[in-house]
């Protein structure tokens, strides 16, 4: 008689059909890979009305038969605002605080009916950890708190009351959970220092790329922009964490020096969200002819564009040294040269160096960006810009990360 798979209750806001966040990939790919590793995922997520944007393109990636329960949730900014304003209390710890109440009810029903052996909840929606903590308290099941990135940081959240909410949630999670996971070495090390009594229960579980999503996806033979080198940044541009100001200044300096021309170079920002910021900076520094701002596309179309690019662009400011954009792992798999504009002492620079990429410069320095961009373009033209190392590509897959997560689940239920 075959052994029945064990079950894990997974509390995650980001799940198909939500669109606009790479955070969906972490939960979705665990849900895909866990069944083959002996674990049946039970997904507890938010009602679709809570999502600001939706897209059907990843719904087909959810395995048939997956248990998915959606709890009532509202977005305070859209559903509880009057004349565009809403009380700050309705956005603490986040705009989806209403999700908590029905999610706990659904979660308790799922525990009673489906008998999971463990609970998992995932940030960056802090309410997910509020739900996970309450379910752990009321059921006694072992709980894995997946932080991905740090919660309460210096200066973030800016609102001091919200910061105290974050600090209280993270403290309860780290101390009550059977273990906590982070996506970068620096974040894990920081939390071991913050909570030495839980240091042995804090683990690294990096992001990765989904290899099946790349299957059959090849870059077009035709260049993205005929006659020009096209560098692609795929994903959100944050005004602080990925501030493009110094990049625009560097473009202007190279243009005035005659080192680049719009006919030979394009920077394509795919689904940047901060369109007005990019447009205003491009106008201010008179580099609009170099910039392409394009809307979101389905996930696999975005992967195809990465593979068709001449080069890929990573942007991460020094205030995020303990974070690594999830997109970096897709860049590693895409097999294209990559330019990293990030603090050389941060985790993003470290993972790029380990992958074999050598063109790195701090995002905050226009001088350094101008120098490294010119060298990157020269190395692309000469065919000597490095690609990611094969061993790093193999070890960075979501399947490998899911195997590590399954082992963690095994350890917490022992």
For 292-333, what is the HEC assignment?
EEECCCCHHHHHHHHHHCCEEEEEECHHHCCCCCCHHHHHHH
- Averaged pLDDT, 389-402: 94
Among residues 80, 139, 148, the alpha carbon closest in space to that of 326 is found at 148
Looking at the fold, whether 188 and 304 belong to one and the same domain comes out as no
Let me know how long the chain is: 414
pLDDT higher than 70, residue 164 = yes
Residue 1 lies in a domain: no
- Averaged pLDDT, 169-174: 98
Please count the CA atoms within 13 angstroms of the CA of 349 that sit on its side-chain side.
16
**pLDDT tens by residue, 1-32:** 346 679 999 999 999 999 988 889 999 999 99
Distance (Å, whole) CA 56 – CA 17: 5
Banded pLDDT at 149 (limits 50, 70, 90)? confident
- Averaged pLDDT, 228-248: 96
Contact status, residue 158 vs residue 319, Cβ threshold 8 Å: no
* Token pair in block for residue 231: 């560098």
Q: Which domain holds residue 101?
A: 6-208+397-413
Looking at the fold, whether 96 and 240 belong to one and the same domain comes out as no
Looking at the fold, whether 252 and 203 belong to one and the same domain comes out as no
Looking at the fold, whether 109 and 161 belong to one and the same domain comes out as yes
- Indicate the burial class of 258 (C-beta count within 10 angstroms; 0-12, 13-18, 19 or more): exposed
Looking at the fold, whether 339 and 296 belong to one and the same domain comes out as yes
Looking at the fold, whether 158 and 203 belong to one and the same domain comes out as yes
Phi, psi of 250 (to 5 degrees): -65, -40
Q: Which CATH number is 343's domain given?
A: 3.40.50.2000
Phi, psi of 40 (to 5 degrees): -100, 120
User: Across the chain, what does the average pLDDT equal?
Assistant: 95
Looking at the fold, whether 173 and 86 belong to one and the same domain comes out as yes
What's the whole-model pTM score? 0.88
The least confident of 84-88, 116-120, 267-271 is: 84-88
pLDDT higher than 70, residue 152 = yes
User: Could you write out the DSSP letters of every residue in 96-119?
Assistant: TTTHHHHHHHHHHHHHHHH--SEE
Query: Three-state SS for 346?
Result: coil
Query: Three-state SS for 6?
Result: strand
Q: Please count the structural domains in the chain.
A: 2
Residue linked to tokens 């719904």: 59
């Amino acid at each position: 008689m075959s052994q029945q798979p064990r079950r894990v209750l997974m509390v995650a806001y980001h799940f198909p059909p939500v669109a606009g966040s790479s955070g969906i990939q972490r939960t979705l790919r665990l849900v895909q890979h866990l069944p083959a590793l002996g674990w049946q995922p039970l997904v507890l997520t938010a009602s679709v009305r809570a999502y600001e944007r939706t897209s059907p393109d990843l719904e087909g990636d959810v395995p048939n038969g997956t248990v998915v329960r959606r709890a009532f949730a509202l977005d305070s900014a859209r559903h509880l605002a009057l004349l565009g304003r809403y009380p700050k209390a309705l956005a603490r710890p986040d705009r989806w605080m209403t999700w908590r109440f029905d999610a706990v009810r659904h979660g308790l029903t799922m525990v009673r009916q489906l008998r999971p052996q463990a609970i998992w909840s995932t940030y960056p929606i802090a309410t997910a950890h509020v739900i996970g903590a309450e379910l752990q308290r009321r059921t006694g099941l072992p709980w894995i708190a997946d932080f991905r990135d740090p919660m309460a940081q210096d200066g973030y959240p800016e609102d001091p009351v919200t910061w105290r909410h974050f600090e209280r949630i993270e403290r309860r999670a780290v101390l009550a959970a059977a273990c906590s996971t982070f996506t970068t070495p620096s974040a894990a090390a920081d939390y071991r220092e913050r909570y030495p009594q839980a240091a042995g229960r804090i683990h690294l579980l990096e992001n990765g790329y989904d290899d099946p999503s790349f299957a059959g996806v090849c870059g077009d033979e035709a260049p993205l922009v005929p006659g020009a080198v096209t560098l692609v940044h795929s994903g959100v541009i944050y005004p602080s964490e990925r501030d493009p100001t110094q990049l625009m200044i560097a473009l202007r300096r190279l243009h005035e020096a005659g080192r680049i021309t719009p006919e030979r170079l394009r920077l394509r920002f795919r689904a940047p969200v901060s369109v007005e910021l990019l447009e205003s900076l491009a106008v201010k520094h008179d580099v609009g002819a170099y910039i392409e701002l394009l809307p979101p596309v389905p996930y696999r179309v975005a992967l195809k564009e990465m593979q068709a690019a001449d080069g890929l662009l990573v942007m991460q400011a020094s205030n995020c040294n303990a974070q690594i954009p999830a997109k970096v792992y897709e860049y590693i798999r895409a097999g294209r040269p990559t330019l990293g504009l990030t603090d050389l002492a941060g985790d993003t620079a470290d993972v790029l160096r380990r992958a074999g990429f050598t063109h790195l410069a701090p995002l905050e320095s226009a001088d350094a960006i101008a120098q490294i961009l010119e060298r990157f373009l020269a190395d692309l033209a000469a065919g000597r810009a490095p690609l990611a190392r094969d061993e790093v590509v193999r070890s960075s897959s979501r399947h490998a990360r899911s195997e590590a997560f399954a082992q963690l689940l095994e350890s917490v239920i022992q």
